[in-house]
Structure formats: structure tokens, C-alpha cells
Amino acid sequence: MAEDQNIEYKKSWRDEYLKWICGFANAQGGKLYIGIDDDKRIVGVENSHRLLEDIPNKIATTMGIVCDVNLRKKDGKEYIEIIVEPSNVPIAYKGEYHTRSGATKQQLRGTALQLFILKKMGMSWDDIPHPSATIECIDEEAVKYFVEKAIDAERLSPSARKDSVEKVLHNLELIDDENHLKNAAILLFGKKPQHFFGGVEFKIGRFVHDNTDLIIQDVVTGNILQMADEVISILRSKYLISPIHYEGMVRKEPLEIPDSVLREAIYNAIVHKDYSGVSIQMKVWNDRIELWNDGTLPEGYTIETLLSEHSSKARNKNIANVFYMAGFIETWGRGIDKIRNGLKDAHLPEPSFQEYCGGLRVTIPRAKLLSDLLYYDTQKLSARQKKILNMIRKDIMMSGNMLSARLGVSLSTVRRDIKALTKMGVLQYAGSSKDGHWEILKEIGTK
């Protein structure tokens, strides 16, 4: 058999191969063969009987585990088979932790080591108590917000309104036996969680041509439980379009991308983020939205796994539980399906999912609002109005004075044309007078 995550061949024994045994024990287990070269040819071993005694003793002495060490023979040559069972506790070799990834051995250090040990102990990063955080760091209003959401979702009794902040956190198991707040409590309900963790931000940027063409940006901070509300509010006011239509006499202004789809994608990014990493990033382009969160997929999961029926494996178990209690997410691994089905129901293109830069990137196409949602007779546009749209298409930060100078007409004339284009539903201005920009709502063949 070829070398893989479960098999390793060595021509002769060296004590350093105890690290490989440590790696197998910390991964899925495996077999180490001594006396077989990389080409899988049996070259044999000398002093096989001494090795049968020495190897098990060294394994037990250095790592405290027991492995099957067997003598095998083929074609008149002896070789040794070492069978390593996976361990449910972390195994160290002389203070070092090794694991198996593919056909290679890797030493675990830093954050990777911390997360590995937590996983072996059945814990997640958000389960770690933070020694310097106190109950004074918790925002009482954030806790009340959670309680109301959980009651509305019928996942918490109305009597919880009378519970103290401490009792709510205890019931959610966000305070340990020594009354230390867990990381999850600070992230979910903290007044300023970014004072404790560097990556607690949600960055939004508006791009046009490439990654260097950043027009406007916002950074959302604060607790992660209420973060999605603020992100949606900012998207609605500055980044996305809300086409107006009427149902009877009722005026409707839904977002171009359904609120439920955006929230599901945002919730997934927040819940599954690696909070030892960097900020969540959302890039809004003319034709798409890209949402990226730090953190690799669960072990054994691929993009294909996400797109098929799968179980939910939360990176941050406590955070996921609170979002579930609040009615924000389910626990059945249905988040991806809800995004896809929500876009399909809105007659929007299929999203895409990619493993990218150590995290997951979700790309949601934007609607072709001009051709799909609106209609206008292009013959009603004047030649100057078409020129204005062409100029704005090339530079959405174009000011009235700039348009006036380039067209060779007065500013009042430009303003009349812009007012007419806005009234037609062809053009709108998004954002403030200082950092806002133009949005062309309808591509109408102005060239």
C-alpha cells in the first residue's frame, strides 16, 4: 500500500520515529513499517528480536501508550509492523505534540496546538474561561435582547425576563464553576469584546473594478449577537438597492437580495468564524457580494459536503447554541440550503462557495436590476442625460461640478437632469454628501 495518512514506511529504526507514532496517535491512528523502503520493497531489519523489546518499551516510556509491535516475514526477510490506535486524549513526545496530515508528520505549535488540545478534550475555543473578564464587562441590554429573541422563538420561557444577567449566563453555561466568563460570553454579550479579542470586527467595503478600487467602507464592532442587525442596516442605507414597488396601496422597498438570505450568510460567518484569526470581510461589487470568514471547514468536510446533505459541526459550540436559542440559526446543517433556496425563490442566480485564504468565501450574485426589475423607454432620455449616465458609470463618485465642467453646461442644468433621472428610477445617490456615491439602477444602453 502507498504511504498515506495511515501508513508510513522506514528502511530501519531510529528513535526519532517515535514522533511519527505520536503523530498517528494524535490523528486517526495508523501503521509504521520498519524494514520497508519508500518504494515499498522489503529490505529487512537486523536485530529484530531486540527491536521487538525496545520499541514497545520506548513508546510506553516516552508517551504512555501501548502499541502492537509485530514481527512479519516475507520472501525470507523480516520486517516490523507497529500498529498505533488513535488516542482520545492529547499525546506528547518529550513535550512536543505531533500529528498526521496526509502523508506527512507535523508538529503542532501555537494556536494550532491550543485548538488541537481543546478538540481532544471535547471543548471549543469559545469554551475557554477568560481570567481577566468580569460580569461588569457584560452589556445588560445585549442580554435582554437575547432573552426577547429567544422568547419570540419559543426557545426560552417568558419567565426568563425576570432572570438576572448572571443567571442567564449560568443557564447558557457561559460562566464556569469559578465564576469566570467564557470567551463566548464576552463575544456574545460584551460591552467591548474587541478589547479582549482582535478579530471581533465585521468589515464592509464597496469595490468597483478591483481590490484596490475601494470607494467607501464601514467597520462594525461590538457584540456579535447584535452584529447582523447593524450590518443589514448599513447595507440597506449605503451599499445595496431597495427597488420600490406597490402591492395594492402599500409601498414596498425590499432589498435587492432577500433579508433572510443575507442574514443566514452573515450568521454563518459569525458563528463559524475562527476568533483567533482576522475580521469578517464583506466586499460589495457591482455584480456580486463576497462574504469571507476566517476558519477552515470541519475535518473531513469539503465544499461538496456543504452542498449536499450534512450534519452541523459548530466550531464555536457555545456561540452556536446562543444563536440557536435566539432563533437565528438551526442545528441541522441547513444554512447553505436556506441561502440557495432563498435566492432561488427570489429568482436570483445560484451562490458559490470556496475555500479561500484559510476560510470560507460565499459569493452572492446581485440582481440585474435595470434589465430584470425595471423598464424605461430609452428614447425619453436626452443625449445629455445619456452622457451623464456614461460618466457616472465610469466614476460613481462624480460630482455635479465635475459633470458641469465636462459637459460645458451650468450646474443648475446638471441638477435638473439628475433630478429627472432620479425620478425615472434610473439613478440614485447612496450615502452621505461627503462619502456617498451614485448607483445606476437601470442599464439602458446609453452608449
Which grid cell is 354? 470556496
User: Residue 318: phi, psi to the nearest 5?
Assistant: -70, -40
At 106, which helix (H) or strand (E)? Answer: strand 104-108
Three-state SS at 175: strand
- Ordered per-residue pLDDT tens for the chain, 447 residues: 666 678 999 999 999 999 999 999 999 999 999 999 988 899 999 889 999 999 999 999 999 999 999 999 998 999 999 999 999 899 999 999 999 988 889 999 887 887 788 888 777 889 989 988 999 999 999 999 999 999 999 999 999 999 999 999 999 999 988 889 999 999 999 999 999 998 899 999 999 888 888 888 999 999 999 999 999 999 988 888 876 655 555 666 678 899 999 999 999 999 999 998 899 999 999 889 999 999 988 877 889 988 888 887 888 999 999 999 999 998 777 889 999 999 999 888 899 999 999 999 999 998 764 333 333 444 467 889 888 988 887 788 888 999 999 999 999 999 999 998 888 778 888 888 777 888 877 555 433
pLDDT attached to residue 446 = 39
Q: Are 42 and 35 a contacting pair, CB within 8 Å? A: yes
Cα separation of 130 and 124, whole Å?
13
Q: What is the pLDDT of residue 19?
A: 96
| DSSP conformation class of 239 | I
Answer yes or no: pTM beyond 0.85.
Answer: no
Residue 302 identity: T
User: Cα(84)–Cα(344) distance, rounded to whole angstroms?
Assistant: 49
Closest CA relative to residue 437, chosen from 285, 281, 238, 237: 238
**Burial profile 73-100: b = 16 or more Cβ within 10 angstroms, e = fewer:** eeeeebbbebebeebeebbbbeeebbbb
* Predicted local distance difference test score (pLDDT) of residue 442: 58
Q: Which three cell numbers stand for residue 185?
A: 460570553
pLDDT attached to residue 339: 94
